[in-house]
Amino acid sequence: MTMDKTPLAAVERDKLLASLGATLRDDLKAGRRTGVLVLEISQFKRIQVTYGHARTQEFLRELMRRLVDALPKKDKVFYRGGDEIVVALCGLRVREQLNLAINKIQRIVAEPVVLCGNSLRIGLTIGASVTLETPIAPEDLLHQANRALLEARDRQRETVIFDPSLEDEGVASLELQSLLSDALERNELVSVFQPKVDIRTGQVVGVESLARWHSHLLGPVRPDLFIEAAENSGLIGRLTIWTINNAAKQYSLWGEQAVPIAVNLSAAVINSPELQRQLRHALSIWGMPPEALSLEITETAVMEAPAHSMESLRFFADMGIRLALDDFGTGYSSLAYLKMLPVSDLKIDKSFVQNLASDASDRKIVKTIIDMAHNFDLKVIAEGVEDEKGYQILMDMGCDIVQGYLVSKPLKPEHFRKWLLEEQWRRPAQAGRRPACA
């Protein structure tokens, strides 16, 4: 295989859906069916760790090339980022043709790929869906294939084709999406704010804004569930703009007590021009200086769409906004790439932080991350600090900032001010006072 250095760009969700939508219309008119396959490469992380970023890209390219060569010209192959490829099979006459295509793909990938002189044989897990005679929206057909993939993973099967019995949860998630859309209009969402403190002085250096939703129909909905529903339904743009506007408003309401606010940015919105416009707008209306806003972007999100994200990250950084790599340690960043990112903070994922006191290998990982981050002039924030031992260990390791239940749970805005004034947190070394909770 020859080296191609340009990064393999992940297709944007909007483009994927538009292309699939066009196929669906054509096939419906011609009385044909459309199939969608979501392919997941098994053991992808292992491949990345073993061979590194550049060779993994090379490997992905080769795989894409094989798929494109083997499938009919009209079919479409998309790289969706990470370990996922989406295939649209066009003009199927009968449902059985879906099985034929799946068999063919399994045969293609069974041929080993030669990487670094090693012959690499990979496995695929496939989720599939196919249209019936009735029209279906591209996002629904894709959703069905995603559901089938989850089912295949759960049951450890190579392939699952969607059928309506899998739909129970699917319906629940569609319902969540439509309720969430209403919730944004009805103003049912609120933001809570979790303090971050300087590990040495105990001073509050900022807060992270976290969205909460109490639905009038469902009651409280878990944030990871509704954030995922927002991402899957395209509502995440509206939700993020709402969150940023709310943060800027809160900053202005806090007045003298205002501290910098961090907002989470999903991968799907990093490159949205509308978001960039609305962000400027929100800061200017509420008089929030850009330096007081920080955007948290997961390590995985940044690594999955490198070339494309870089411009947007620069745009934010040039405005004076701080950028933080969130959930760090859960992805596989290439160090060379990290150096090029205009980020100023790195947040160590809570899964490495929670058991610091009892887990020696977590201690090693955290120490390594802190040292590496400092070499790149990044500030290190440890999230999920729950006990004083962990706090002390982090201080000894030279961590800069901590966030977690030990300091405070996320607080409602009116409680934050009170907490700040009355219950000002003291770091364990200074005083043994119990931290305040929401």
Binders in 60-89 for ligand G, by CB under 6 A: none
Residue 58 in contact with Mn ion, rule: CB under 5 A: no
| Binding residues among 300-359 for ligand G as defined by CB under 6 A | 326-327, 350
**Range in contact with Mn ion (rule: CB under 5 A) among 98-106, 108-116, 307-315, 326-334:** 326-334
**Nearer residue to ligand G within complex by CB, 62 or 386:** 386
Q: Which is nearer to Mn ion, 76 or 196 (CB)?
A: 196
Nearer residue to ligand G within complex by CB, 224 or 422: 224
Q: Which of ligand G, Mn ion, none does residue 185 bind (CB under 5 to 8 Å by kind)? A: none
Rounded distance, CA 268 to CA 298, Å?
A: 11
224 binds ligand G (CB under 6 A): yes
Single out the segment in contact with ligand G by CB under 6 A; choices: 28-36, 315-323, 358-366, 380-388: 380-388
- Contact of residue 312 among ligand G, Mn ion, none (CB under 5-8 Å per partner type): none
3-state SS string over the chain? CCCCCCCCCCCCHHHHHHHHHHHHHHHHHCCCEEEEEEEEECCHHHHHHHHHHHHHHHHHHHHHHHHHHHCCCCCEEEEEECCEEEEEEEEECCCHHHHHHHHHHHHHHHCCEEECCEEECCCEEEEEEECCCCCCCHHHHHHHHHHHHHHHHHCCCCEEECCHHHHHHHHHHHHHHHHHHHHHHHCCEEEEEEEEEECCCCCEEEEEEEEEEEECCCEEECHHHHHHHHHHHCCHHHHHHHHHHHHHHHHHHHHHHCCCEEEEECHHHCCCHHHHHHHHHHHHHHCCCHHHEEEEEEHHHHHHCHHHHHHHHHHHHHHCCEEEEEEECCCCCCHHHHHHCCCCEEEECHHHHCCCCCCHHHHHHHHHHHHHHHHCCCEEEEECCCCHHHHHHHHHHCCCEEECCCCCCCECHHHHHHHHHHCCCCCCCCCCCCCCCC
| Least Cβ distance, residue 269 to ligand G (angstroms) | 8
Contact between 363 and ligand G per CB under 6 A: no
Query: Of these, 144, 233, 266, 272, which contacts ligand G (CB under 6 A)?
Result: 266
CB of 406 to Mn ion, least distance (A): 17
Rg for the chain, CA atoms, rounded: 24
Q: Which of these segments, 2-10, 112-120, 223-231, 299-307, binds ligand G (CB under 6 A)? A: 223-231
CB neighbours of 251 closer than 8 A, spacing ≥ 6?
A: 258, 261, 286, 288, 292
**What is the x/- site pattern for ligand G, positions 11-50, by CB under 6 A?**
----------------------------------------
Size of the site for Mn ion (CB under 5 A): 3
Handedness of CA 133, 138, 144, 146 (dihedral sign): positive
**∠393-394-400 over CA atoms, to 5°?**
155
To ligand G, the closest distance from the beta carbon of 102 in angstroms equals 34
Of 59 and 242, CB closest to Mn ion: 242
If binding is defined by CB under 5 A, does position 345 make contact with Mn ion?
no
Which segment (25-33, 60-68, 316-324, 377-385) binds ligand G by CB under 6 A?
Answer: 377-385
Q: Which two tokens stand for residue 270?
A: 């990093």
Residue 385 CB, shortest distance to ligand G, in Å, is 6
Which of 7, 223, 237, 435 is close enough to bind ligand G by CB under 6 A? 223
Pick 58 or 296: Cβ nearer ligand G = 296
264 binds Mn ion, rule: CB under 5 A: yes
The size of the interface with ligand G (CB under 6 A), counted in residues, is 21
Nearer of residues 42 and 245 to ligand G, judged by Cβ: 245
* Residue 405 touches ligand G, criterion: CB under 6 A: yes
Q: Is 403 in the site for Mn ion (CB under 5 A)?
A: no
Task: List all residues 6 or more positions away from 312 whose beta carbon is below 8 Å from its beta carbon.
Answer: 270, 271, 276
**CA-to-CA distance for 241 and 282, rounded, in angstroms?**
9
Can residue 296 be called a binding residue for Mn ion (CB under 5 A)? yes
Taking CB under 6 A as the rule, which mask of x and - marks residues 407-426 in contact with ligand G? ---x----------------
Q: Find the residue with minimal CB distance to Mn ion.
A: 296
Selection from 427, 424, 381 nearest residue 436 by Cα: 424
Of the two residues 56 and 246, which places its CB atom closer to ligand G in the complex? Answer: 246
Window of 3-11, 26-34, 87-95, 221-229 that interacts with ligand G by CB under 6 A: 221-229
Q: Which residues bind Mn ion (CB under 5 A)?
A: 264, 296, 326
Instruction: Note the residues at the interface with ligand G (CB under 6 A).
Output: 194, 210-211, 223-224, 227, 240, 243, 264, 266, 296, 326-327, 350, 383-386, 404-405, 410
